[in-house]
């Protein structure tokens, strides 16, 4: 990369995969997904691919700087739990270190689990700060065996989270795959989508990851850390190919596909969501605006093409797209907050059932 302009290129999905490097772990990740899907197929389960978290765009080959997309992974991790609760098998394609189902309840930044643990009062406490540290030279006390308990206030919540977590692990219905860069995300999305095509209509895609619209092709990346001292830095990026297009038309035309549209200007949310449906022809776009995303979303879906109705004997054409708003109170009790994802998933499950029956 340099400060000079370049011939900007428009990448189709095809040319993208022909020119951009395949991640080294792709083959192993795909094998893991393949086996998972086979097991779920034998158990006659529907499978949902939940994508979650933001993608990065490295600015250097030996990456020191990168562009990131906003997303903590809350939407994806929370939604995955409600899909699991409904009996779906979940492939959780997420940004490394973003929130995950179950452990999200004890995020290190908002709710660290160590705060809910207590050491048995009968044990001698450390006499000095130094001896309290695990890497102290003193051997840890072996008798009596240290007893650690969960604070009474947290016990009920932890119990329900832990019980669900263990149940899902025993059933084997959650499969984790991670990405960091937008390139890894795109390769994985293609590979997982193709694997899921054997499920036909029982495959759902819930694309909540925040995916960069722009990227720097590998061929234009500076090998080493970009040096300062040459004045301003101008970076000209290429557009990430519109990946929903081949997903809908080639990788799994039978799948039930839900994408997300994120905007910061609420006025353009619905037109943008409709535009996406118009372009790609999938089933649902969930529109959310950044500041209200935890309390209000809108599901936009196409209305059947022949949806005309008779009004006073005259044929009146219906709108092409239907809006379905989901809203919850923005003031939720902190001990048991209602999560909007519960209602989103409930609505999607109904629609997915209709989709499956429609086959």
Which stretches of the chain bind ligand 9Z3, using CB under 6 A? 71-75, 207-208, 210-211, 259-262, 288, 293
Q: Which is nearer to ligand 9Z3, 84 or 247 (CB)?
A: 247
Asked if residues 196 and 203 have their Cβ atoms less than 8 Å apart, the reply is yes
Query: Residue 81: what are its φ and ψ, rounded to 5°?
Result: -60, -40
Rg for the chain (alpha carbons), in Å? 24
Q: Which single residue is written with the structure tokens 């990131």?
A: 68
Q: Which is nearer to ligand 9Z3, 37 or 189 (CB)?
A: 189
Q: Which is nearer to ligand 9Z3, 259 or 283 (CB)?
A: 259
Asked if the bond preceding 93 is cis, omega within 30° of 0, the reply is no
We find the least distance from the C-beta atom of residue 55 to ligand 9Z3, in angstroms, to be 8
We find the least distance from the C-beta atom of residue 285 to ligand 9Z3, in angstroms, to be 9
- d(Cα 312, Cα 295) in Å, to the nearest integer? 39
We find the least distance from the C-beta atom of residue 2 to ligand 9Z3, in angstroms, to be 29
We find the least distance from the C-beta atom of residue 83 to ligand 9Z3, in angstroms, to be 15
We find the least distance from the C-beta atom of residue 260 to ligand 9Z3, in angstroms, to be 3
Provide the token pair at 66.
């990168």
Q: Which is nearer to ligand 9Z3, 23 or 54 (CB)?
A: 54
| Strand, helix or coil for residue 13 | helix
Q: What angle do CA 70, 300, 298 make, to 5 degrees?
A: 55
Q: Which is nearer to ligand 9Z3, 46 or 259 (CB)?
A: 259
Asked if residues 154 and 112 have their Cβ atoms less than 8 Å apart, the reply is no
- d(Cα 50, Cα 202) in Å, to the nearest integer? 14
């Amino acid at each position: 990369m340099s400060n000079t302009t370049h011939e900007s290129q428009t990448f189709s999905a095809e040319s993208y995969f022909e020119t951009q490097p395949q991640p080294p772990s792709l083959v192993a990740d795909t094998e893991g997904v393949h086996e998972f899907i086979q097991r779920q197929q034998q158990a006659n389960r529907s499978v949902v691919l939940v994508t979650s978290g933001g993608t990065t765009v490295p600015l250097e080959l030996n990456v020191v700087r990168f562009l990131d997309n906003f997303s903590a992974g809350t939407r994806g991790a929370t939604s995955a739990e409600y899909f699991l609760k409904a009996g779906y098998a979940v492939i959780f394609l997420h940004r490394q270190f973003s929130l995950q189902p179950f452990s999200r309840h004890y995020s290190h930044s908002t709710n660290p689990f160590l705060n809910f643990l207590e050491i048995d009062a009968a044990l001698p406490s450390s006499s000095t700060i130094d001896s309290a540290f695990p890497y102290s030279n003193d051997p840890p006390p072996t008798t009596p065996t240290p007893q650690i308990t969960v604070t009474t206030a947290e016990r009920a919540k932890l119990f329900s989270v832990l019980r669900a977590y263990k149940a899902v692990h025993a059933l084997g219905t959650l499969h984790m795959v991670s990405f960091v860069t937008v390139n890894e995300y795109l390769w994985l999305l293609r590979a997982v989508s193709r694997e899921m095509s054997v499920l036909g209509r029982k495959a759902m895609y819930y694309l909540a990851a925040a995916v960069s619209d722009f990227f720097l092709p590998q061929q234009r990346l500076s090998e080493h850390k970009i040096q300062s001292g040459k004045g301003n830095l101008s970076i000209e990026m290429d557009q990430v190919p519109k990946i929903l297009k081949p997903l809908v038309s080639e990788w799994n035309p039978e799948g039930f596909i839900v994408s997300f549209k994120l905007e910061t200007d609420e006025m353009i949310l619905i037109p943008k969501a409709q535009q996406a449906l118009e372009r790609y022809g999938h089933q649902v776009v969930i529109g959310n605006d950044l500041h209200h995303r935890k309390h209000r979303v809108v599901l936009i879906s196409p209305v059947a093409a022949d949806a005309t109705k008779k009004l006073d004997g005259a044929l009146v054409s219906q709108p092409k797209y239907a809006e379905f708003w989901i809203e919850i109170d923005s003031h939720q009790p902190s001990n048991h907050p209602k999560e909007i994802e519960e209602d989103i998933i409930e609505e999607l499950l109904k629609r997915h059932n209709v989709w499956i029956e429609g086959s």
